[in-house]
Amino acid sequence: MASSKFRFLINPAIATAMAAIFVIDLHTPLGLAVPFLYLLLALLAIGVGAQTRVLVIIAVVGPILAGIKLQIHPSDGVVWVGQTNRLIFSMLIWIAVGLECVRRRLEAGRRENSRLLEKQVAERTEALRTANQKLEVEIAERKEAEATIGRYASRLEALSNQLVTVQDSERKALATELHDRIGQNLSALNMSLNLNLALLSGPLSPAALSAAQVRIRDALTLVEQTTEKVRSVMEELHPALLEQYGLTTALRWHGEEFAGRTGIAFRYSAGENLPRWPGKVETTLFRIAQEALVNVAKHAEATAVTVALTQGAEGIALTISDNGVGLAPEPQRPPAAGSGWGLAIMAERARAVGGALQIGPGHGQGTAVVVTIPNRHLETA
């Protein structure tokens, strides 16, 4: 195959060679095998990679030029030998050029098939690479989902275990409340009634009658105190105000009770004309506020606490903030189970109604607990 920089010389060289062969043929006897040079030129043209149309020209023009010799000098030498030579080499030229054309056509077809095959292989490789990438993404997503399920399963198991502990603690606390607030009054009432019964078992002097009346009045006072304490315990367990008057009134009442017990100043603010929400939502927000205020009393070392309740275009927001010692600075994030059971239960309460709970630093100092519930979850809660 000729070098590409000399390819432009092939056609002129072939034309020159054919002219030279024709001149030589004109000046040699007819019997010599000069037409062999046309065959040799065709083979050389095939060898140097001449264009197909050039080979066809050689195959057509070569025999024509050889035939012209017969017309110009028909009796120069042995006529039949010259004719035979020209016929044989013309056929050989046609065969050589024909075979080369067939070879080139087959080679072109092979190259086209090879190109198509390479294209198909490239497309298939790209498709496999894309499928492999998708598979890797799906595997990663599945592993992440399995890890998330594992974390939630661990959290659920931990919360289930903690629920038993919390129930036991609440029962113990309720028993303590009943003993401390009601049990002593009932014991005193029992003693007073027994003494009055002993006095009334016989005839009474005016002084004994007066003493009995005093004890009965004391017993009535104990009954009133016991009734009030029972009502107080019932309100703490499930405030009737929450069902009768709604969350706003219940939060204000509970905050005032909290301030009276702890001495921590309480401030409450609520949006205007807040509607009533589903009972589950109001109960959840009230319980979260209760737990948050308990945490303020236990850990915050605060002198003031603020509870704010609003509803905007996106949903409800309940904020409990104090001016206490605050938290260690870190990005706001929902508390994880195990970081504090009170906080974890508050977060689970919020999630149960489609909300979210965040804990972070307050304005300037202290801690802020923010509960948000989107409006779209209010109808399904």
Residue 173 pLDDT: 67
Give the total number of structural domains in the chain: 3
Structure tokens that stand for 150 in this block: 């594992």
The reply to whether 71 and 162 lie within a common domain is: no
137 inside domain? no
108 inside domain? yes
The reply to whether 180 and 103 lie within a common domain is: no
Task: Determine the structural domain holding residue 40 and report its residue range.
Answer: 4-124
Structure tokens that stand for 144 in this block: 């992440």
The reply to whether 225 and 275 lie within a common domain is: no
The reply to whether 334 and 361 lie within a common domain is: yes
The angle formed by the CA atoms of residues 199, 202 and 207, to the nearest 5 degrees, is 55
Residue 181 pLDDT: 65
Choosing from 68, 98, 124, the residue where a domain stops is 124
Residue 195 burial (CB count, 10 A): 15
Structure tokens that stand for 247 in this block: 């969350």
From residue 218, how far is each of 3, 208, 222 by CA, in Å?
Answer: 128, 15, 6
The angle formed by the CA atoms of residues 200, 201 and 204, to the nearest 5 degrees, is 50
Spatial contact of 70 and 82, defined as CB atoms under 8 Å apart: yes
Q: How many angstroms separate the CA atoms of 94 and 98, rounded?
A: 6
pLDDT in tens, the chain (381 residues): 545 556 678 888 888 888 888 888 777 766 565 778 888 888 888 888 888 888 888 888 888 887 777 777 666 555 666 677 778 888 888 998 889 889 989 999 999 999 999 999 999 999 999 999 999 999 999 999 999 898 888 877 777 766 666 666 666 666 676 666 666 777 777 777 776 666 666 676 777 667 777 777 777 777 777 777 776 666 666 677 788 888 998 899 889 989 998 999 999 999 888 888 888 898 899 989 999 998 999 888 899 999 999 998 889 999 999 998 877 554 444 444 444 567 878 888 898 888 999 998 877 788 999 999 998 877 765
The CATH code of the domain that includes 330 is: 3.30.565.10
141 inside domain? no
184 inside domain? yes
Q: How many angstroms separate the CA atoms of 85 and 32, rounded?
A: 8
Count the alpha carbons within 13 Å of 71 in the hemisphere toward its beta carbon.
Answer: 6
The reply to whether 262 and 294 lie within a common domain is: yes
241 inside domain? no
Q: Which amino acid, 104?
A: R
- Among 230, 226, 229, 270, smallest CA distance to 250 is for 270
The reply to whether 279 and 214 lie within a common domain is: no
* Burial class for 316, CB neighbours closer than 10 Å (0-12, 13-18, 19+): buried
Residue 288 pLDDT: 92
Choosing from 207, 234, 261, the residue where a domain stops is 234
Which of the 8 DSSP states describes residue 76? S
Structure tokens that stand for 95 in this block: 């065969």
303 inside domain? yes
Residue 155 pLDDT: 78
